[in-house]
Structure 1
Amino acid sequence: MGKSRNDNFLLTDMDRQDVKNGGDGPELPENELFAALRLQHIPNLGDISAKKLIAHCGSPAAVFTDKMQVLLKIDRIGSAMLSGLHDPVHARAAERELNFIRKHRIGYYYYRQHSYPYNLQHCPDGPVLLFYKGNIELEGKKIISVVGTRNMTGRGRDFCHKFIEDLAVYEPVIISGFAYGVDICVQRAAMAHGLQTIGCLAHGLNRIYPPEHRIYADMIMKNGGFFTEQWSKSLPVRENFLRRNRIIAGLSQATVVIESGEKGGSLVTANLAAEYNREVFAVPGRTTDVFSRGCNALIRSQKAHLLTAAEDLVYMLNWEATASGGRGVQKQLFVDLNPVEQRVVQFLEDKGKQHLDEISIHCDLPVSACSALLFELEMKGVICPLPGKLFELA
């Protein structure tokens, strides 16, 4: 999980995107953004307590000018929380991060701005600052989160594709975690149907994790993007993934669990969604299916509605189809392919499903170039990805 040669890929490409800080709302004055960053950096001060301080004092900057004895009278604000308030280490860190935000044109939502994601406004522990990159539009949108195991089965993959295909007419925004398995499967399916999709990251915007998913970053950015509360130096470590889950749950009207073992981050996300009084859905499976045990447990405990098809969710959320009827990518019977694409398609036609490495070798393509080309063919509806880096003709 440390630094790799792909760490800067996200910013390198995303810097070409023109974003506005704070979405469609006014930018914070720079001194207020600086003060909000200082508050974020204090280890003993969580989002709930930081919001209490800001509400009492009127602004982030005012927190640092008010007297300590006044701040200590605020309900559930103790001296341990405020012990680092004026430590210069937090001011220096905030200055570095502010420079990073300026240099790379990082967008941000401040929790008191109108543009802050509506559903997240109702979560008491939502981040004071939520950073983003991309072309994100959430206002007035239907939004769902879809999560699940990283060890997705073929059954789970097929359900993901069918589920998103049937939901496309409603044009929902699909939120997920950009991780292996269900996350990337559902986000790829959303892209294939022209839906806005957003990856919630457990690290800063100066890296891609996992690095194998770098080939999807540009396309996600064109219609969607990435959210994170983490600063530029943050690494994809376990505690950040657990904190990230509350953002996935909080952004959405409903959370869908496709597959899950008895334990895992997707169950944490589902439980958080239930605590936020959001709808939760789970796809049932056989009692002997290892990666259906978590879903079956959610249904058994009545924390989740049973989900057998997209229409179950549509009925429960009372959705109506959009006037445009969806913007799905039209599958073409005849697709114009360049010579290299034709070579890959011919190889798959002759040999059947093949591993990425085999395609790379036989078609004389570097693995990175081959991955990108296969993704383009997937978006054209020509091939289908399978578990284990296998591909076959659609």
Structure 2
Amino acid sequence: MVDQQNLYKVALTLLPNTGAITIRHLISYCGSAKDVLEAPKGKLMKIPGIGEKTAAGILGASSEALRQAEHLLKLAEEQHVRMLFFTDADYPSRLKTIADAPVLLYLQGNANLNARRSISIVGTRNATDYGRLVTERIVDELKPYGATVVSGLAYGIDIFAHRAALQAGLQTVGVMASGPDIIYPAAHRKYAERMLTQGGLLTENRFGTKPDAPRFPARNRIIAGLADCTIVVEGAIKGGALITADIAHGYDREVMAVPGNITSAVSEGTNYLIKSLKAVPYTSVQDLVELLNWDLQDKAAAVPSASPIFDSSEFNAEELKILQLLQQSQEELMDNLSWKTQIPISQLSSVLLGLEFKGMVRQMPGKRFMLVR
């Protein structure tokens, strides 16, 4: 039997002319996917940025979207694919803070997409022996830290990273530019099948989607967004690996690059990233550990924790979400608070007001909120 909540979530992604940002916006005001699809036209038009055309489109297409969603959910069940909506607890938390992240993901396997440590390793399809050896060394050095290895299942550096992770016993996630039922390239099927029991395969594309060219840059943003740091091993100046590095840089995530032979075409991209200060050189795992403060995290974890900054007994779940987010970012726009915490705008206003009365947050000009203490 199809889960009704999932049915409405999937249906929302099937509406015409309704992208990820609009879907997040609709849910932040209405509260849930079901509420969006059942809202009258007048209520939809009161939402900022939702005009008559969009509202009419939602109402006119909702029945067909629900029918298609039911078909997709049945396919997913038959093929053991989990569908993760951006409001679900299992949806990657690292992606929730990215404005252009997919609202729906298809996952096969047993991967924990919210693992404590996650590293993306990318590079050219035309990898050299040097690139293969370095990739294997990087992954092997990640073993003591239990990091998840993310890549794109492609030829070259990608498959070297996945293969090394399988050998090392690390969880590894392959992000695909195809639908969940199409393994590309087909030559990597045997590794993909092994990954289902030691990680998984992830995509934003529906069943039957072929991996055409525009889907690879889109796939790269997920690779970058899933990781705390993206490591480029080898890559040309205009290659896909540098696109991934640029995206990670734009997400304010760490980027590292392996220095290469200055006479090698596949090292031009990595050397350029280092020279232009877009990436930190990777020479050993210690560089990564110091960049991400893993050593300090492990030391802190070994020491008995002091009293938490926020006493959970004094705040409810929604208040704690806001306080924890503001502790990290210092201040946020109200709309950003809504989609990052998954608290609807209609509910968020009263939660923020309560925190202001408690002296925990302060409203700034432009509907910005900051932590007081």
TM-score interval w.r.t. the shorter chain? 0.7 to 0.9
Q: Which residue of 1 aligns with 2:147?
A: 172
What is the CA-CA distance between 1:54 and the residue it aligns to? 1.1
Distance 2:48 2:269 in 1: 38
TM-score normalised by L of structure 2: 0.74
Say yes or no: does 1:221 pair with 2:196. Answer: yes
Distance 2:8 2:35 in 1: 9
* Aligned partner (choices 186, 206, 210) of residue 181 of structure 2: 206
Structure 2 gap ranges (5+): 300-373
Distance 1:78 1:276, change over 3 A: farther
* Aligned partner (choices 215, 232, 241) of residue 216 of structure 2: 241
Q: Which residue of 1 aligns with 2:335?
A: none
Q: Deviations over 1:1-35 (max 9, x none)?
A: xxxxxxxxxxxxxxxxxxxxxxxxxxxx8233222
* Aligned partner (choices 30, 33, 36) of residue 6 of structure 2: 33
Distance 2:173 2:44 in 1: 37
Counterpart code for 1:142 = R
Structure 1 gap ranges (5+): 1-28, 324-394
Q: Which residue of 2 aligns with 1:60?
A: 33
- Give 3-state SS (helix, strand or coil) of 1:41's partner: coil
Distance 1:96 1:114 in 2: 24
Distance 1:73 1:303 in 2: 43
Q: Deviations over 1:153-204 (max 9, x none)?
A: 1111111111112221111100001111110001101111111101011111
* Aligned partner (choices 61, 81, 84) of residue 106 of structure 1: 81
Q: Which residue of 2 aligns with 1:11?
A: none
Counterpart code for 2:124 = T
Within 5 Å, give how 1:1-394 maps onto structure 2: 30-78=3-51, 81=54, 84-85=57-58, 86-87=60-61, 88-320=63-295
- Give 3-state SS (helix, strand or coil) of 1:74's partner: coil
Distance 1:237 1:82, change over 3 A: farther
What is the CA-CA distance between 1:248 and the residue it aligns to? 0.8
- Give 3-state SS (helix, strand or coil) of 1:238's partner: coil
Distance 2:52 2:259 in 1: 48
Checking the alignment, whether the CA contact within 8 Å between 2:91 and 2:113 is kept in structure 1 is no
* More deviation, 74-83/51-60: 74-83
Distance 1:208 1:79 in 2: 41
Checking the alignment, whether the CA contact within 8 Å between 1:259 and 1:294 is kept in structure 2 is yes
Checking the alignment, whether the CA contact within 8 Å between 2:150 and 2:174 is kept in structure 1 is yes
Distance 1:195 1:294 in 2: 28
Checking the alignment, whether the CA contact within 8 Å between 2:41 and 2:56 is kept in structure 1 is no
Q: Deviations over 1:251-301 (max 9, x none)?
A: 111111111111122222111111211101111223432112222222222
- Give 3-state SS (helix, strand or coil) of 1:274's partner: helix
* More deviation, 168-177/123-132: 123-132
- Give 3-state SS (helix, strand or coil) of 2:107's partner: strand
Please report the RMSD computed on the Cα atoms of aligned residues, expressed in angstroms: 2.2
Distance 2:208 2:229 in 1: 31
Distance 2:280 2:92 in 1: 25
Checking the alignment, whether the CA contact within 8 Å between 1:171 and 1:322 is kept in structure 2 is no
Counterpart code for 2:123 = G
Checking the alignment, whether the CA contact within 8 Å between 1:45 and 1:82 is kept in structure 2 is no
Distance 1:306 1:232, change over 3 A: same
- Give 3-state SS (helix, strand or coil) of 1:222's partner: coil
Distance 1:250 1:176 in 2: 11
Distance 1:302 1:81 in 2: 43
Distance 1:223 1:296 in 2: 33
Distance 2:52 2:188 in 1: 44
Q: In the comparison of the two structures, how many residue pairs are matched?
A: 295
Distance 1:258 1:215 in 2: 24
Distance 2:235 2:207 in 1: 31
Distance 1:206 1:293, change over 3 A: same
Checking the alignment, whether the CA contact within 8 Å between 2:260 and 2:271 is kept in structure 1 is yes
Distance 1:302 1:208 in 2: 36
What is the CA-CA distance between 1:125 and the residue it aligns to? 2.0
Higher helix share: 2
Counterpart code for 2:90 = S
* More deviation, 188-197/98-107: 98-107
What is the CA-CA distance between 1:103 and the residue it aligns to? 2.2
Counterpart code for 2:191 = Y
Checking the alignment, whether the CA contact within 8 Å between 1:281 and 1:307 is kept in structure 2 is yes
Counterpart code for 1:38 = A
What is the CA-CA distance between 1:43 and the residue it aligns to? 4.4
Q: Deviations over 1:29-67 (max 9, x none)?
A: 823322222222234222111111111111111112223
Distance 2:284 2:261 in 1: 16
Q: Which residue of 2 aligns with 1:5?
A: none
Q: Which residue of 1 aligns with 2:305?
A: none
Q: Which residue of 2 aligns with 1:387?
A: none
* More deviation, 69-78/34-43: 69-78
